[in-house]
Amino acid sequence: MARKPVVVIPSDDPAQCQGSPWTEKLKQRAEVRLFTDRVRDVEEQVRRVQGATAIINSRSYVKWPDEVMARLPDLRFITVCGIGTDAIDKAAARRRGITVSNLPGRTAPVVAEHAFGLMFAVAKRASWYTDQVRAGRWVKKDMVLLQGKTVGVIGAGPIAQKMASLCKAIGMTVLAWTFHPSPERARQMGAEFVALDDLLRRSDVVTLHLPLTDQSRRLLGRREIGLVKPGAILVNTGRGALVDEAAVVEALNSGRLTGAGLDVFEQEPLPLDSAILKCQQVVLTPHVADMTPEGLELLNQGVVENVLAFLDGKPQNIVN
């Protein structure tokens, strides 16, 4: 009897795959090794995945640069639990014959709803007001009426499209920017595609929905954030490194930004001495935009289907 291929989930913390019926289903085809704690260093990471044919990278803080993959001669496949593949050196994986797959659009409604909620929480100053009430201070501060305002959506993929739809439903005007605009994409989003600088100057809310690539890294730097409409709100559920975090802090402290709703950060977990934690006008969540029961299972189903497709010799959702 042929030995089952080995599939490793190297660091499932916070819990993603553990306890899922889809993970149990995968055990019918493969030997599944699931680790529920975080890897402490590269040496431990390599030990955990030695002999693996496939890796399910359930957490993006586990990185796969070329020098790590070079130590894994049996590895042939990596799938991530989501869209972003910035934790993997995809070019190096291709050179080494390792296929990389993702889950495009699987949880778009879930992530877009989270971004929409962050936008509302910032506009209504939910975190700030909660702190004031808890401290016994019955104070008033202007909030932001979103109806009739303009939202600038950066990106045009499934999450961006769903976010645009939610914003239109409450009467917002939608502007959009993407690296690859087209009339068809504009029709799908019901949005006007404009230049990035124009979007920043005109939008009352700027919301980011892009993967992190060499091209998109720090897309919003100090110059771009300086163009943002005074009093605007920034929402980011994409990747922390899409923006210059220090420039965001400066814009919040100066009042250029009236607030920010952030689910992602340049360094995760967010260090306790991070300057963003000192900003009162922010709503922060720990990279959990798709962590609803429905969202988790959609991702678990997707990664198992990716692995099974690869084992059947028909890999899908390939990104390298």
249-278 pLDDT tens trace: 999 999 999 999 999 999 998 999 999 999
Kindly report the number of other CB atoms within 10 A of residue 276's CB atom. Answer: 19
> pLDDT, tens digit, for every residue of 76-126?
999 999 888 999 999 999 999 999 999 998 899 999 999 999 999 999 999
Gap between the Cα atoms of 298 and 303, Å rounded: 9
Does the bond joining 14 to the residue before it have cis omega, within 30 degrees of 0? yes
**pLDDT tens digits along 183-236:** 988 998 999 999 999 999 999 999 999 999 999 999 999 999 999 999 999 999
The SS3 assignment for 155 reads coil
Q: Tell me the catalytic residues.
A: 239, 268, 287
**Fold: same for 6-106+293-311 and 108-284:** yes
pLDDT, tens only, 301-310:
999 999 999 9
Give percent of the chain with pLDDT exceeding 70. 99
Domain ranges of the chain: 6-106+293-311, 108-284
Instruction: With a cut of 70, say whether residue 49 has pLDDT above it.
Output: yes
CATH number of 108-284: 3.40.50.720
CATH number of 6-106+293-311: 3.40.50.720
Dihedral over alpha carbons 121, 126, 127, 132 (to 10 degrees): 170
pLDDT of residue 1: 55
Strand order in the sheet with 6-9: 31-34, 6-9, 54-57, 77-80, 99-101
Report the pLDDT value the prediction gives residue 162, as an integer from 0 to 100: 97
